């Protein structure tokens, strides 16, 4: 992780903490007030500002935990074809066109012709699939396609090696399949087994309410629910049949029923293949999970149909208002509604304030912060709102963790100017214009660098048009040798912002989402506030100075 970083804690996690906790947890309660970035729970509530949304109706930050997602469109990432949601389930979420993914590297496969005459190649087959990235082609498994129309079903009939599967061996029960060529294709074995067990189930207990006629299990009907409940409550009387009546189920006994007899020769062949072709010929776990029937070797991998992607809209979990709504058209990347927190809450950045060159102290290194010596950092808050904001920062005097580094924000209360038009400020008075130099995060700043400026308690370090910088002073304790992650200095900061925002007139404007610029009769200002915890990752605490200093470069 690179320092410094800022994470924002979504307040929705507070709901999960007990409100009326027992009195014996008094000490714990006190500790829960200050947000501890080290607690395991913190990992689930900390987000970067870019990942947060903002609900205008609740006037609150919304994180992925406190939003609801709704699928707007299903589409294929390869051909951008939009699939109607009614078809998605029956097609198992895969594209029905000639969109396939490489079995080796999951890149999209291109359909190319291998017609011997190069002139005819754009028109005539046979066609193959080829990967532009890893150079895999369907020729490696012996597949060539006759037509472009129905590659999908043709693929279903093909076996690895290019032969066609035996046509429907299960229906021709009258003619027993020849022993010499049992269909060992995993797909057909599976269908044979499935139909065999379905017939077994329906004949053994035809009245089982859990089973639908097609052989699936039906949990939604009232009778099956009653049966499930009776299983749990122990009243076994429901649906119990005379054991004499039901015939016990038998297992499949021949290849037409999906029986596969273990062949020791296949094992020897596999071992031989491992010996000759080695590690590179085995399929990786990632490759296997993409397949319907995970094979051992890369030579048995089949191309997969492209998986559909979705466009989703997001709603506030509390008030159900839409926070994000993308354009339904697949080709468009625009959004109809997008209430991102970036437009509502200040961005927080931290950078080291280097010691004055005259003191001859070494420059601050965020990966080795000085121990037992005050180091200063510049904390800059940038206001995205069009109204001036009043900020109050709070931080525990000692950063959480057993090392308790001392943290002081020299000026915890300050204002940030509005994110107004550049023109406003150009037309404004001279004093304002002077202060409005650009905020640069890359510039290295020194104590006393410009006009001999030194950090003072209660004073803002620097102020711009819509940003304000204050100084944070940190005195790190010696962390010693132990523990991973113990040397990371993270400061929890409680940020409270107050501002006067324009009220949204609910009663006259209607509840039109976002209030698309209705009537602007009277502009009433309303006092608003928002408070949340921020975690600022400052850096790693270095080793205690002295003998170790000489060793470090």
Partner 1 sequence: MTARPSVTSRISTSRSLGPHIQSDSTTLISASTAFTGTQPISLGPNVIIQLRARMTSAYGPINISENCLISERASIGLLSPPAPTQAEGEPTGVNLAPGVVIESGATVEATCIGAYTIIEAGAKVGKGAAIGEHCKVCAMVQLGEGAVVGDGMVVYGSGWGERRSEQGRQELEGMRRKAVTEQIEVLRRCWTGK
Residue ranges binding partner 1 (CB under 8 A): 104-105, 114, 133-137, 139-140, 280, 284, 298-299
Single out the residue of 204, 218, 318, 513 in contact with Zn ion (rule: CB under 5 A).
Answer: 318
Please, are residues 350 and 4 in contact by the beta-carbon 8 Å criterion? yes
Collect all residues with Cβ–Cβ distance below 8 Å to 195 and sequence separation of at least 6. 170
User: If residue 204 lies in a helix (H) or strand (E), which one and from where to where?
Assistant: helix 186-204
Please, are residues 246 and 205 in contact by the beta-carbon 8 Å criterion? yes
- Residues 281-318 as b or e (16 or more Cβ within 10 Å = b): ebbeeebbebbeeebeebebbbbbbbbbbebebbbbbe
Rounded to whole angstroms, the Cα distance separating 163 from 79 reads 29
CB of 315 to Zn ion, least distance (A): 8
284 binds, among Zn ion, partner 1, none (CB under 5 to 8 A by kind): partner 1
CB of 354 to partner 1, least distance (A): 24
Please, are residues 190 and 338 in contact by the beta-carbon 8 Å criterion? no
Note the helical H segments in 57-98. 85-88
Interacting span for Zn ion (CB under 5 A) from 75-83, 177-185, 194-202, 403-411: 75-83
Name which of 496 and 543 has its Cβ closer to Zn ion: 496
User: If residue 277 lies in a helix (H) or strand (E), which one and from where to where?
Assistant: helix 264-277
127 binds Zn ion, rule: CB under 5 A: no
57 binds, among partner 1, Zn ion, none (CB under 5 to 8 A by kind): Zn ion
Rounded to whole angstroms, the Cα distance separating 55 from 321 reads 8
Single out the residue of 131, 391, 476, 530 in contact with Zn ion (rule: CB under 5 A).
Answer: 131
CB of 278 to partner 1, least distance (A): 10
Rounded to whole angstroms, the Cα distance separating 462 from 460 reads 6
Please, are residues 342 and 50 in contact by the beta-carbon 8 Å criterion? yes
Binding mask of the shown chain, residues 227 to 266, with x at each position contacting Zn ion by CB under 5 A: ----------------------------------------
Token readout for 488 is 């990371």
Q: How many residues line the site for Zn ion (CB under 5 A)?
A: 25
Interacting span for Zn ion (CB under 5 A) from 51-59, 333-341, 363-371, 435-443: 51-59
CB of 137 to Zn ion, least distance (A): 9
Q: Where are the beta strands (DSSP E) in 63-117?
A: 67-75, 82-83, 100-101, 109-113
368 binds, among Zn ion, partner 1, none (CB under 5 to 8 A by kind): none
280 binds, among partner 1, Zn ion, none (CB under 5 to 8 A by kind): partner 1
Q: What is the DSSP letter of 190?
A: H
95 binds, among partner 1, Zn ion, none (CB under 5 to 8 A by kind): Zn ion
Single out the residue of 52, 72, 76, 341 in contact with Zn ion (rule: CB under 5 A).
Answer: 76
Name which of 305 and 349 has its Cβ closer to Zn ion: 305
341 binds, among Zn ion, partner 1, none (CB under 5 to 8 A by kind): none
Single out the residue of 29, 57, 91, 208 in contact with Zn ion (rule: CB under 5 A).
Answer: 57
């Amino acid at each position: 992780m690179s320092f410094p970083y800022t994470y924002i804690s979504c307040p929705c996690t507070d709901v999960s903490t007990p409100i009326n906790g027992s009195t014996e947890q008094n000490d714990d309660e006190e500790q829960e007030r200050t947000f501890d970035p080290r607690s395991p729970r913190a990992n689930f509530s900390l987000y970067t500002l870019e990942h947060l949304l903002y609900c205008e109706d609740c006037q609150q930050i919304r994180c992925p935990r406190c939003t609801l997602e709704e699928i707007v469109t299903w589409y294929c990432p390869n051909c951008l074809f939009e699939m109607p949601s009614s078809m998605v389930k029956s097609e198992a979420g895969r594209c029905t066109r000639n969109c396939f993914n490489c079995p080796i590297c999951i890149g999209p496969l291109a359909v190319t012709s291998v017609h011997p005459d190069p002139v005819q190649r754009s028109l005539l087959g046979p066609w193959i699939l080829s990967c532009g990235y890893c150079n895999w082609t369907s020729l490696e498994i012996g597949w060539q396609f006759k037509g472009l129309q129905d590659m999908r079903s043709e693929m279903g009939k093909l076996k690895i090696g290019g032969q066609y599967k035996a046509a429907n061996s299960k229906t021709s029960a009258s003619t027993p399949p020849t022993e010499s060529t049992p269909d060992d294709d995993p797909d057909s074995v599976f269908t044979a087994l499935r139909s065999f067990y379905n017939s077994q189930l329906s004949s053994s207990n035809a009245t089982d309410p859990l089973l639908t006629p097609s052989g699936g299990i039906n949990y939604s009907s009232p009778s099956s629910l009653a049966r499930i409940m009776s299983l749990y409550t122990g009243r076994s009387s429901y649906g119990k049949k005379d054991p004499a009546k039901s015939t016990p189920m038998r297992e499949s006994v021949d290849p037409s029923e999906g029986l596969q007899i273990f062949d020791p020769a296949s094992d020897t062949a596999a071992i031989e293949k491992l010996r000759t072709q080695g590690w590179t010929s085995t399929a990786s776990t990632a490759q296997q999970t993409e397949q319907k029937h995970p094979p051992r070797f890369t030579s048995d991998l089949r191309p997969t149909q492209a998986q559909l992607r979705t466009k989703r809209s997001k709603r506030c979990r509390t008030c159900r208002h839409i926070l994000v709504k993308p354009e339904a058209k697949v080709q468009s990347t625009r959004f109809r509604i997008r209430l991102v927190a970036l437009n509502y809450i200040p961005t927080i950045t931290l950078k080291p304030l280097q010691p004055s060159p005259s003191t001859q102290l070494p420059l601050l290194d965020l990966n080795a912060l000085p121990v037992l010596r005050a180091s200063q950092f510049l904390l800059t808050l940038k206001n995205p709102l069009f109204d001036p904001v009043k900020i109050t920062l709070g931080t525990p005097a000692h950063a959480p963790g057993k090392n308790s580094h001392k943290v002081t924000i020299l000026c915890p209360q300050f204002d940030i100017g509005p994110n107004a038009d550049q023109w406003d400020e150009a037309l404004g008075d001279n004093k304002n214009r002077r202060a409005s130099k650009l905020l640069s995060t890359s510039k290295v700043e020194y104590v006393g660098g410009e006009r001999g400026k030194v950090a003072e308690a209660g004073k803002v370090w620097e102020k711009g048009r819509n940003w304000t910088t204050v100084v944070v002073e940190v005195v790190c304790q010696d962390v010693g040798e132990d523990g991973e992650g113990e040397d990371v200095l993270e400061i929890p900061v409680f940020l409270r912002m107050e501002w006067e925002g324009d009220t949204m007139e609910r009663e006259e404007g209607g509840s039109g989402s976002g209030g698309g610029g209705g009537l602007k009769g009277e502009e009433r200002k309303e006092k608003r506030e928002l408070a949340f915890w921020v975690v600022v990752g400052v850096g790693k605490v270095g080793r205690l100075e002295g003998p170790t200093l000489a060793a470090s470069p």
